[in-house]
Structure 1
Amino acid sequence: MNEEQNLTTGSVPGKLIVFALPLLFANLLQSFYSIVDMLVVGRIVGNTGLAAISNASMAGFIINSVCIGLTMGGTVAAAQYKGAGDEKGQRETVGTLFSIAFLAAILVTAIGLSAYKPLFRMLNVPPEAMGDTCAYMKIICCGTVFVFGYNAVCSILKGLGDSKSPLAFVAIAAAVNIVLDIILVGPFAMGTEGAAYATIASQGISFMISVIHLKRRNSVFDFKFRHFAVKPDKMAAILKVGLPAAAQMAVVNISYLLITGMLNRFGVPVAAASGVGLKINTFAGMPCWAIGQAVTAMAGQNFGANDIDRVRKTTKAGLYLNIIITLLTVLLVQLFAKPIMMIFNPVNAEVISDGILYLRICCGANSLVYAVMYTFDSFAMSVLQTLPCSMHFLDAVVRFP
């Protein structure tokens, strides 16, 4: 069954919600990679392992952010060609994006492997956690190609209107990750290294399944060698969105990394608490990201179809949804901060109290500002614009009829 949706017709809020829900569940499940790592390692290895994964995950976030940002250009280009009914443009976008993603994966892997040790020293990772942190990060860096490949496939599928298939891929990968985590960290006693192997194995499986799906289900790409040729115009379109998005996401995650480094000075409990707090805060942002991704795909298709009024309505609906859902999420985190922290470390009172303080500060009113910003960023990307060029389009959107 073809899961692709035509996002240029039908109810705007209805289509947006239906398209965003699978993306939300996929984002939640994908975050389980590191969440499950922390749960299993925190309970079996203890605070040292928890601090190790907290620090290594922050560096991993930078790799993931570069990957997601770069491949986001593929979503926009595919959506616009889909809206315009241009199958050749769709096919050339897929091939070009795969080539870009492969080259970027090699570069990022090389940088990651050479930089993680001095990075962790600079971040003042607690000495007792340094060995586990480096071991975890080395393995994660070696799986970068799977992350780039998977996100490249999913970005294309989202642009073509398919948000359900990525959910299926992630569900399988999450199940594999949970099983391997329990086995490798527990009975095999591999500690944090076992958690890292579980993560890259699940990512590799998810990538392979997504490639097979794209080959079998999508008529615009059949994986012939000639289709991987880089088309200069398609590369320019992808990078016009992808490079600024990757840079923006990398800068945000680097700032979190620097904060983690400052908190490491206060010892293992604070480092562990901040890592858990960041994970929870990341979970709280998932609905906002899903709606933003839906806005990008839907506005992109309508922009390709030259329906500017529907682009405006899409952004407007996304803005309202993001504000309402983010407000509810923040309230839930503030009300249940202690029980949530106790899921990760039920016995260490210092980790729990520090984690609650982290959530009180970082998951508050600032999240509403982020929700508004991310909605408009998603819109700006959908029309292949980056600030300040998008201000003209933004003005047209916010002048609600």
Structure 2
Amino acid sequence: MFLRSLHLRQFRNYRDQAVSFAAPKTILVGDNAQGKSNLLEAVELLATLRSHRSNRDRDLVQQGAEEGSIAARLDRDSGSVDLGLVLRSSGRRTVSLNGQTLKRQVEFLGTMSAVEFSSLDLELVRGGPGHRRQWIDTLLTQLEPVYAHLLQQYTLALRQRNALLKQSSSRTEAAIPLDRAQLAVWDAQLATLGTRVIRRRARAIARIAPFAEFWHRDISGSRESLEIRYAPSVPMEKDDPTLIQQAFLEKIRQRAIAEQVQHTTLVGPHRDEIEFTINHTPARQYGSQGQQRTLVLALKLAELKLIESVVGEPPLLLLDDVLAELDPKRQHKLLDTIQDRFQTLITTTHLDSFDSQWLRSSQVLTVVAGQIAPA
């Protein structure tokens, strides 16, 4: 797939900016805080309907405006498609394909695929479990768009169950006895939906692990061995939905007293962990900075390969000021792997990391205060 054009209106610091892409690689160069990352964020939103930088649409809409929009023309093997996304300060979004407004956002997902790699991704290794859950959920949304709807359903059930547990809090004057019949209803909902989330996450980890382990071994010169393990909060001996659901409900029963004391749900996919080990040593606690960077780079290259194998077309690659985080060896491995196979948008403050051959085959654009122009 190839992104032909992008048009941003009242999005972040872009008032009205159109840009066309004419080469497999586009380098966006400029000082910090000029809008380079904002452009990549817009592409990420079209691919996943998520931003790794903000959870609120009002942060994406230009200050003082009620709504902003992102429009794009994408070439795929099956033909060209026009994508549209309208963001509102009120939080109500509108998505469209080929000018037709879609009733369900899940119908929009899967049209464009993209892998985003930024300096923030180091938190994948050294950050808390939430970073790793968000990573696998974003990947799954592109591999299996219906997963976004499933995750939304699970989150809603989780909120309802937590609200019921909080109602019985003895710390509030309005505390009421816990409605155990109602709690049992939400237990069943949580176990049913949570089982579906767990099974899909487990399958995704099993699919991406061989790719990541290959790249990690390649980048480290076969000196290091990476292992990725999914550690759900619910025991999962077999990929059997009935057995997982039973184990889910049993775990809820085991944690019932603790949940009533803490007034929150302690069992489910929102408590899952993904463990990375290098040479049988936990990468989060004991991995060096270089090892952690190698691990994240291997994960991103693995995402590219996995999405390409599932979708049947190479996804876009978004590199947000990441070259500065990599040493020359890792930079070379990344740039050598990309070549012209993946359409790549790269942000940087200078062009020193690129050799003359790369620059000749790239489109170079300057970004200054939300204005984009050829270099």
TM bracket, shorter-chain basis: under 0.3
Considering fraction of residues, name the structure with more helix. 1
Considering fraction of residues, name the structure with more strand. 2
User: TM-score, normalising length from structure 1?
Assistant: 0.25
Structure whose alpha-carbon radius of gyration is higher: 2
User: TM-score, normalising length from structure 2?
Assistant: 0.26
